Structure 1
Amino acid sequence: MAGDDPKTLVSTDWLAAHLDDPDLRILDASWYLPDMGRDARAEYLAAHIPGARFFDIDEISDQRSPLPHMAPPPEKFISRMRAMGVGDGHQVVVYDGAGLFSAARVWWTFRLMGKTDVAVLDGGFPKWQAEGRPVEDMPPVLRDRHITVSRQAGLIKDVTQVAAAAKLGSHEILDARSPGRFAGAEPEPRPGLRAGHIPGARNIPYRSLLGPDGTMLPPEALREVFAAAGVDLSKPAITTCGSGVTAAIINLALERIGKHDHALYDGSWAEWGMYGDLKVATGNDG
Structure 2
Amino acid sequence: MTDHSEFIVSDDWLKARLGEPNLSVLDASWYLPAAKRNAREEYEKSHIPGAVFFDHDKVCDETSGLPHTLPSPQNFAGFASAMGVNADDIIVVYDSIGFFSAPRAWWMFRVMGAKNVYVLDGGFSKWKEKHYPVTSEPTQVKKTVFKVDFDANKVVLIDEMRQLVDGKTTQIADARNHKRFLGEEAEPRPGIRSGHMPGAHNIPFATLSEDGNFKDLSKVKTIFKDAGINVAAPVVTTCGSGVTAAVLALALESLGNHNVRLYDGSWSEWGSKKDTPVVTGNDGDK
| TM-score interval (norm. to shorter) | over 0.9
Post-superposition offset of 1:255: 1.1
Any residues of structure 2 matched to 1:201-212 within 5 Å, and which?
201-211=200-210
Task: Give secondary structure in 2 for the equivalent of 1:18.
Answer: coil
Q: Name 1:284's counterpart in structure 2.
A: 282
Q: Distance in 2 between matches of 1:227 and 1:34?
A: 32
Q: Distance in 2 between matches of 1:3 and 1:199?
A: 33
Q: How many residues are treated as equivalent by the alignment?
A: 283
Q: Which amino acid aligns with 2:204?
A: P
Q: Distance in 2 between matches of 1:54 and 1:261?
A: 30
Are residue 187 (structure 1) and residue 177 (structure 2) matched? no
Q: Name 2:233's counterpart in structure 1.
A: 235
Post-superposition offset of 1:142: 1.1
Post-superposition offset of 1:20: 2.5
Q: Distance in 1 between matches of 2:35 and 2:159?
A: 32
Q: Distance in 2 between matches of 1:202 and 1:39?
A: 32
Q: Name 1:271's counterpart in structure 2.
A: 269
Q: Name 1:16's counterpart in structure 2.
A: 15
Post-superposition offset of 1:201: 0.3
Q: Name 1:59's counterpart in structure 2.
A: 58
Post-superposition offset of 1:4: 6.6
Q: Name 2:80's counterpart in structure 1.
A: 81
* Runs (5+) with no aligned partner, structure 2: none
Q: Distance in 1 between matches of 2:225 and 2:130?
A: 33
Q: Deviations over 1:250-270 (max 9, x none)?
A: 001011111110011010000
Deviates more, 1:26-35 or 1:8-17: 8-17
Q: Which amino acid aligns with 1:260?
A: H
Identity of matched residues, %: 47
Q: Which amino acid aligns with 1:249?
A: V
Q: Distance in 2 between matches of 1:234 and 1:80?
A: 34
The question of whether the paired residues in 2 share the 8 Å contact of 1:78 and 1:147 is answered with yes
The question of whether the paired residues in 2 share the 8 Å contact of 1:88 and 1:145 is answered with no
Are residue 196 (structure 1) and residue 195 (structure 2) matched? yes
Deviates more, 1:76-85 or 1:220-229: 76-85
Q: Distance in 1 between matches of 2:279 and 2:246?
A: 22
Are residue 259 (structure 1) and residue 265 (structure 2) matched? no
Task: Give secondary structure in 2 for the equivalent of 1:264.
Answer: strand
Q: Deviations over 1:104-129 (max 9, x none)?
A: 00001001101121111111101111
- Give the superposed CA RMSD: 1.2
Q: Deviations over 1:150-171 (max 9, x none)?
A: 1101111011111111122221
TM score, norm. by length of structure 2: 0.96
Summarize the Cα distance change of 1:251–1:201 in structure 2 as closer, same or farther, 3 Å threshold.
Answer: same
Q: Distance in 1 between matches of 2:146 and 2:31?
A: 28
Q: Name 1:144's counterpart in structure 2.
A: 143
The question of whether the paired residues in 1 share the 8 Å contact of 2:5 and 2:254 is answered with no
Q: Distance in 1 between matches of 2:232 and 2:168?
A: 13
The question of whether the paired residues in 1 share the 8 Å contact of 2:5 and 2:217 is answered with no
Q: Name 1:248's counterpart in structure 2.
A: 246
Q: Distance in 2 between matches of 1:89 and 1:186?
A: 42
Q: Deviations over 1:166-198 (max 9, x none)?
A: 122221100000100000001111111111001
Q: Name 2:133's counterpart in structure 1.
A: 134
The question of whether the paired residues in 2 share the 8 Å contact of 1:179 and 1:284 is answered with no
Q: Which amino acid aligns with 2:74?
A: E
Q: Distance in 2 between matches of 1:21 and 1:4?
A: 23
Q: Distance in 2 between matches of 1:22 and 1:239?
A: 34
The question of whether the paired residues in 1 share the 8 Å contact of 2:237 and 2:260 is answered with yes
The question of whether the paired residues in 1 share the 8 Å contact of 2:187 and 2:193 is answered with yes
Post-superposition offset of 1:141: 1.1
Q: Which amino acid aligns with 1:182?
A: F
The question of whether the paired residues in 1 share the 8 Å contact of 2:19 and 2:50 is answered with no
Task: Give secondary structure in 2 for the equivalent of 1:94.
Answer: strand
Task: Give secondary structure in 2 for the equivalent of 1:133.
Answer: coil
Q: Deviations over 1:181-219 (max 9, x none)?
A: 0000011111111110010000000011112x2211111
Q: Distance in 2 between matches of 1:193 and 1:227?
A: 29
Post-superposition offset of 1:284: 2.2
Post-superposition offset of 1:2: 3.5
